[in-house]
Amino acid sequence: MTRFDGRNNEELRNIKVTKDFTMYADGSVLIESGNTRVLCTAMVEDKVPPFLRGQGKGWVTAEYNMLPSATQVRKQREMSRGKADGRNVEIQRLIGRTLRSVVDLDRLGERTLWVDCDVLQADGGTRTAAITGAFIALMEALHKLVERGALEKIPVKTQVAAVSVGVVDGEAMLDLCYVEDSAAEVDMNIVMTAHGEIIEIQGTGEERPFTKEEFSRLMELAELGIRQLVDIQRQELSHVEF
């Protein structure tokens, strides 16, 4: 089956990574997945939350948001609404725990890595693009710590990336854009390591229950996509040893 944008069912959207996109962050990446664009930045703070003080270990945390003009209908800023957006909170928690799962916090020392993911333009898959780009930004920030002599080695165990999969019109598809995502019968976001280990699966039967066979097929597609995303990360981080 050929999709409306010309891809086949097993094909990722075009991925473009622009590093050092901002001046002041320790690591910054603009990741583009088709028409979805997310700015991911990482900054190091030489302190940890109160619950970790004196333990000699570090912390990684994330924030996620969308610019008002990221979608066709203007999205009101949280500060204007006077309350947090539940979707944003859920996604930033996902990004934070994903990154913590691959960082050796004991080797990080008593410092915090702040990762901010800001959606400039949304066309489906913003959370998965944010995770994939956030890993690159985090690695760039850690690489600078090593260059400054603050760390002996980058305290990261493996790469991590994420991708969406789903069933649309009875067809299993990889990397859904907004049109496909909004029409999906089954919708999933999969987070995995470079070794194929699963960090998180967010899956929903949007319009109907799905079978074990469909789930297996979607996982196969996710693994296929994540292997490609990990290769892209590796190319962008070819100067970094970990």
Residue 126 annotated as binding site: yes
The secondary element (H helix, E strand) that includes residue 233 is helix 212-236
Cβ–Cβ under 8 Å, residues 198 and 192: yes
Residue 107 annotated as binding site: no
Residue 125 annotated as binding site: yes
* Positions of E strands within the chain: 15-19, 27-33, 36-45, 59-66, 112-121, 160-168, 171-174, 186-193, 198-205
Neighbouring residues of 142: CB distance < 8 A, sequence distance ≥ 6? 27, 113, 151, 154, 155, 156, 242
Binding site residue list: 87, 125-127
Q: Which residues are annotated as a binding site for phosphate?
A: 87, 125-127
